[in-house]
Structure 1
Amino acid sequence: MPEDDDKYPEESGRRRFVKGVVGSASLAGIGTAAAASINSATEPTGAGGGITQYFGVENTAGPAPRAMPQIPVEVDDDGFLKGIWPEPETVTEQGREITVSEMELGGITYTSEWFQYCGGQTYPGVKPDADQDNFLRYASSPPYEWQQEAVEPGEQVNVEHFTDYETWGNGIGTSGIGKPALVTWRSQDVPSSGTIPVQLIRSERIRRMSDRGDQWLSASTEEGFLANMNKCTHFCCVPGFKSLSDSQRFGAADEIYCQCHQSVYDPFSIVRRSFVALPRPDE
């Protein structure tokens, strides 16, 4: 592999070290038909899955093969944030009836399959008809001091907790570009192994992006809030926005940074991508 093809930041001193890692990342660049053919020979049977188009926060450095999927959000009349979840329905797929969650949102088909990777396909909350209320709730052991001091784990996220988002800073990167929180979604009363981790950011940049008339961003963000499923698409680690001082060494102080292999995602660049979603376990 030529030196300038290596996606690890030069400062990390890392190189691709497992042939299988290169192979799995390379799947992101092949045609979707070929990916589906390979996938059908290697994946377990289950409900849903397959070629899926989605919007996500763009991966800009490191070995991550693609964007992390965005979670559309809305704010209710009391200021509480919810992740949008399509109403479940029963359809016939490949000769059998399965339950799916999908809807047209912002000019694209938004579906539960966006989150079926990195074990997400086994999470209770990803099941289309799971009994969840969709409110975002604060996670335990957050990396942000403000979250540790001001709110309790399991508490519902409210707009009033982010009133200082235009000035907030924690000494990592630029202050005032966005206030983050580590939260969960569709995960109450489930084992910790089935919790859906979410990176939430409120930023004036996001508000301006939405106000420019982009159909998807207008439908998927509200009051400057943007959320994504916080599972790195490389090896499924949990990255963070302004959560690790080490990110400054790799030019990622103002981006979402994964310390495991130095993958970087830009939360202010939302891109449309496709991947092969893993099927959920048989229902």
Structure 2
Amino acid sequence: MRKPTFLVTGNDLAGAALALLQDYEVIYAGKTPTEEDIVDLCRAHDPVAIIVRYSKVGAAAMEAAPSLKVISKHGSGTDTIDKQAAAARGIQVVAAVGANAAAVAEQAMALLLAGAKSIVALNARMHDGHWDKATHKSVELEGRTVGVIGLGAIGLRFARMAHAMGMRVLGFDPYAKELPAYIEGADLATIWRASDAISLHCPLTPENAQLLNAQTLAACKRGVIIVNTARGGLIDEAALLAAVRSGQVASAGLDSFAVEPMTLSHPFHGEARITLSPHIGGVTADAYVKMGVAAAQNALAVLHG
């Protein structure tokens, strides 16, 4: 008798996760599947569950899989899943919340430090034979204020790291019930006005799309550092580029972008004060296993009631 199918929208899954799925047939969509690929595979295999790594899963894929019961995100952000379409069909959407929190928070801190300490630019200068000790001044983060927008597992972990470095931490999250003592709750206007650095850790929603735009960036302290390891759509990229070039933003560290993958030539390319990484904040060997196992467990929990 044919085993029910799990569709993975990627080309692999951690061995520990696969061990949990031994009663299922696991089908892979490949390294860079398109939405059309996902629809075709749903039509061909009628999965009971989809583990979402890459690409989007929309209404067409759900319609092509009448046995589909659950869509499980291999990570925490579910904006690539049409949740309204899923709800209309009685399909549960679950996420591996917190599984990659350490990895993403560390990436955010690395990007903040890269901006404050000019790590990338100084490295390039050193490799070119320069010694800029007499002319360069870095930013000391101790005693400065960081605004953390989004206080889920990742934002809380980043905030704790910043506090441990002696930073004042302002936090904004309309859904956070109780904040730890080291985070001062603040509204967005206060964060714009008071922060020396701002780090984004919130999901992308229609309400907060382009949260950082020409108007909000202008309301920030001159010389603010911007870090985004959440979703690219949270930032108006043209406005950020203009703010960096004018000096309103001293530097930016970005791990996510409005359109991914970023291709040549993007306006950010060649900007010395914008540090880029290819949405790999959550991509570590440890997080790969944690996210895979959590995604499998979450899907099985739905399927087994």
- Give the TM interval when normalised to the shorter protein: under 0.3
| More RCO (CA 8 Å, sep 6+) | 1
Compare the two structures and name the one with the higher strand fraction: 1
TM-score between the two structures when normalised by the length of structure 1: 0.27
